[in-house]
Amino acid sequence: MELVGNVSHVGNTSMKVRVDIFVEQMYKNEREKAISGEFTFVAIDEDKKPVSILKNKKKTVSLSRDRFRV
């Protein structure tokens, strides 16, 4: 099983992360997508009100291209 995710959008108070999960058969070099989803995370304060996640807009560009594998 392989999980591949990337940050697809970064806003002022939230970000979206797309995740694809692939499965593969043992002893084969093939894999197929089993499921995918997009998750929205919102930064909140102690009062559960949205707060800004970025103070410097330059970070938006680099975050939107981040990719990770587990």
**Pairwise CA distance, residues 58 & 65, whole Å:** 12
Per-residue pLDDT at 54: 75
Residue 59 has pLDDT above 90, yes or no: no
Higher pLDDT, 65 or 23: 23
Q: What is the pLDDT of residues 24-51, one digit of tens each?
A: 988 888 899 999 999 999 999 999 999 9
Global pTM reads 0.66
Q: What domains are defined for the chain?
A: 2-59 (3.10.129.10)
The secondary structure of 1-65, three-state, reads CEEEEEEEEECCCEEEEEEEEEEECCCCCCEEEEEEEEEEEECECCCCCECCCCCCCHHHHHHHC
